[in-house]
Amino acid sequence: MFALDVAAHTGPWRSRHPGEKALLSLGLLACAVILPPWPGALLSGLAAAVLLVGPARVSPAVVLRAARVPLLFVATSTVPLVVTVHAPIRLTVNTAGFGTAAHTAGRSVAALTCLLLFSATTPLSEVLPRLQRLGVPAAVTEVAALTYRMLFLLVESVRAVREAQAARLGFRTWRTAYRSLAGQAGAIFVRAFSRARRLEEGLALRGYTGSLAVQVEARRMSPPFLVASGGLLVLIVAVTAAVVVGPQW
């Protein structure tokens, strides 16, 4: 399993209702997106980070591992805001873009932290069935569930093929490495296609009629948690309004 999935299934918030965590995480995400970067997005990101490593007990190493690729994307996306390309080939630094780049990067990192708060505390197996109860078409939730399941099979296939190639000295030189990568792609495609066909045949033999019956464990909303979440969101909005609107008065 992925590190985030392990954290979601083993963390102390595992027994909480997904609606509670959605209210908190998506509420913080809304504050990070709607409110000004300073101090709204900063407060939202800090609150999500503190909740992640504090009450949710998610390891900082797991958070950094899950966030490293999105953070790299954020870093590369801010480069065009501070660098200008002139004809024919000349690069100049746009000092006026540093503020925009900082605001964009800060808001993006805050939003990413809020999303990690939800994904690291809520298993997907508990979210999809409840989405169907909220009116999301069954076809959408089932395709998402099957895709999620196939990801683990794909990662397992990649690991098995790579270990087999490494045992045969498939990565000894650059030439053999390129050849092994090409063979790896072909083998993984064949395995994935075969697994998908077997999955389809298995569903058909079990009388699949267009919807999968999934038993969901009943969970109750916690009023103290909801009140605390709402209070935190109101506090962030109030502090942001005081900082932004206060000096104007």
- Domains of the chain by residue range: 3-122+219-248, 130-205
Peptide linkage before 39 cis (omega within 30 of 0): yes
CB-based contacts of 158, cutoff 8 Å, min separation 6:
184, 188
How far the first Cα of the chain sits from its last, in Å, is 53
Is the confidence at residue 247, as pLDDT, over 60? no
Is the confidence at residue 108, as pLDDT, over 80? yes
What is the C-alpha radius of gyration for the chain, rounded to an integer number of angstroms? 23
Determine phi and psi for 174, rounding to 5 degrees.
Answer: -65, -40
pLDDT, average across residues 203-224: 75
Cβ–Cβ under 8 Å, residues 40 and 236:
yes
Is the confidence at residue 212, as pLDDT, over 70? no
| Distance from the Cα of residue 158 to its chain's centroid | 22
Torsion (CA) 46, 232, 129, 54 in degrees, nearest 10: 50
In this predicted model, which residue has the larger pLDDT, 35 or 132? 35
pLDDT, average across residues 221-228: 89
